Amino acid sequence: MTDALYTADIDMAPLKHWKLGLVGYGNHGRSHALCLRDSGAEQIKIALREGSPSRAKAEADGFEVVSLAEVAAWADAIALLAADEAHREIWTTAIAPNRKPGQALILCHGFSIHYRLIEPPADADVILAAAKGPGGAVRQEFEKGGGLIGFWAVHQNASGRARDLALAYLAGIGSGNVGIFETTFREETVSDLFGEQVVLVGGLVALAKASYQRLVAAGVSERMAYIDCVHEIKYLADLMQAQGIAGMYEAISDTAEFGARLIEDDIAGPELNAAFDKAMAAIEDGSFARKWVETYEAGNAMVEDRARDKTLAIEAAGADLRSRLYRASK
């Protein structure tokens, strides 16, 4: 494992002298653009599709907005910050046919390179500059004087300067304030997908829903069940982030720790391991990526799922609780 690098260790010249084209102005795009500008990047253009609802926001923030084809012909480096599942279409139809020779490609996730959705030409530096956390948190932590932990990797080093660009980019979005580490496109992709599927999103939601339903079935009120199975997750997550698992156990009540240790092995049993193995196999063999990109390109991905979520009893309980908790501050 490599040691962390910090802004003081990094040459920021690539950030200040290169023409940077940022594709997308959602959570990642806006956060990156604002932080890079504040860090000294003088030449930034935002590339958006015709009719994009993000155009007004980008222009209000003081950025020049151009088409995908225009930024491909102008930029020394393009940061592809649109959703991973859209990369193949964007690259094939807009960037590849119009790109400036020798142009570098920057990704904030390894997904589209690892699964070969994009096949960059040999003259391109291809780098990973991944700030580990939600896109919006990049800007939030930067404004506090910090940043998100950063990871860099080089897939192609055509210019011999790919590492320098990756490090300068990550330092520019604040990661140099907390620590930047080396990784690979494969490691970042597999870890990111597995973590969000089985713990951070999929696993967490499954546990919250199932435990809420079990408490309600036992006669507990929906409000109380929601508080104990959903609302309090944040406090425990904050403890683990700040103090680790051992520190979290030390901070909570002995009753909670004793009960957790009794049931932990039962939850993490053969059925859970089988679900983990299934998820990992789909990530490693590319079948998850293929299914997701095909679903996205077919249109209307998850529309029915999102509509169904809004009808769940657990959502109604949460909405009611939040409306009562925050009523005084409105």
The two beta strands, 150-156 and 126-131, are antiparallel
Task: Respond yes or no: is residue 109 known to be catalytic.
Answer: yes
Q: Which residue has the higher pLDDT, 124 or 50?
A: 124
Q: Give residue-wise pLDDT tens across range 130-157.
A: 999 988 999 999 999 999 999 999 999 9
| Catalytic residue, candidates 28, 32, 87, 109 | 109
Residues 226/208, Cβ–Cβ less than 8 Å? no
Is pLDDT of 1 > 70?
A: no
Residue 181 backbone dihedrals phi, psi, to 5 degrees: -125, 155
pTM, two decimals, is 0.91
**Burial degree of 174 (CB within 10 A; 0-12, 13-18, 19+):** buried
Is pLDDT of 22 > 80?
A: yes
Architecture of domain 7-183: 3-Layer(aba) Sandwich (3.40)
Q: What is the mean pLDDT of residues 187-199?
A: 96
**Hey, where are the domains in the chain?**
7-183, 193-329
